[in-house]
Amino acid sequence: MGIAELLRDVDGSGAFGVWLGRLDGVPVFEHLAERTHYSASTMKLPVAMAMMRKVEAGELSLDQPVTVHNDFASAAGGRFGVDPAEDEAPATWTKLGEQVPLGWLATEMITRSSNLATDLVLEQVGIDAAHAVLAEYGPGDSAIRRGIDDGPGVRAGISNLMSPAGLAGVLVAVGNQQGASGNYLRDLLAGNQWNGEIPALLPAGIRVEHKNGWDTRIRHDGGIVRPPDADPFVLVVCTTSDLADADAQKLIANIALEAWNHRRDLGGVR
């Protein structure tokens, strides 16, 4: 079953977008790839990229201590805190009031998708710097405008947006980045502990450098897949739908399997 057929099977259930291509950034299959969705945790990759830019510039250090707290400036004015019930990564919460290295927070942000760690890193990096990375590499209307769980921002209509093409753009940039920062970012993505989408149906042991995101009606994943017998490829699938969450995950996994089965002739994907 081709990707187009998989998408036809869910037609009418919501909005679905796909970007598939190699690390040269040229797509071989697109479906509504420029359409934005609420980004959920996919925005954490541009945050990490912006952090590493500041590390390279000497403005930040991965070893610098950051006090763990849960009180942040809202993009709409006022203050907000992360809802612990909505954060599926508990480790950062056990450090409240303590100092931890910035690099530790970045690892929790990407590998466990910690919302609290994300807002702590974003506070150090700055929303404008994170958005600038996404705007540089992600075409269209993808945007980072606020932190995770910024309730006043949500009520003011301030949202983080991501398109499949936008996430693909930052993944292509990471995949081609030379030096220690590129290695660091790729290793963070490869350490992702939430693997129910792109990696789920691929052979065991295949390196997948990916960042996913989920929320009510939202399930996304985007990553670089590195087959041992073919060139790496980039796949992003964004879904905003009425599908059961497990079915949205299964859809992404099946699209990834179809791409994998065509890895030696990616242009043959239909």
Instruction: List pLDDT tens digits, range 17-27.
Output: 999 999 999 99
User: Of 23, 12, 8, 16, whose CA–CA distance to 232 is shortest?
Assistant: 23
Residue 211 bridge partners (DSSP): 222
Please give the pLDDT value at position 138. Answer: 87
Full set of structural domains in the chain with CATH: 1-35+163-264 (3.40.710.10), 39-155 (3.40.710.10)
For residue range 229-269, what is the model confidence (pLDDT) as tens digits? 999 999 999 999 999 999 999 999 999 999 999 999 999 99
Please give the pLDDT value at position 139. Answer: 80
User: Of 16, 83, 6, whose CA–CA distance to 218 is shortest?
Assistant: 16
Please give the pLDDT value at position 101. Answer: 98
| Overall average pLDDT of the 105-112 stretch | 98
For residue range 138-157, what is the model confidence (pLDDT) as tens digits? 888 999 999 999 999 999 99
Please give the pLDDT value at position 153. Answer: 98
Pick from 10-14, 137-141, 204-208: least confident: 137-141
Q: What pTM was estimated for this model as a whole?
A: 0.98
Phi, psi of 102 (to 5 degrees): -55, -40
- In this predicted structure, the answer to whether residue 220 has a pLDDT above a threshold of 90 is yes
For residue range 156-201, what is the model confidence (pLDDT) as tens digits? 999 999 999 999 999 999 999 999 999 999 999 999 999 999 999 9
246 contact partners, CB below 8 Å, separation of at least 6? none
Lookup result for tokens 């693909």: 168
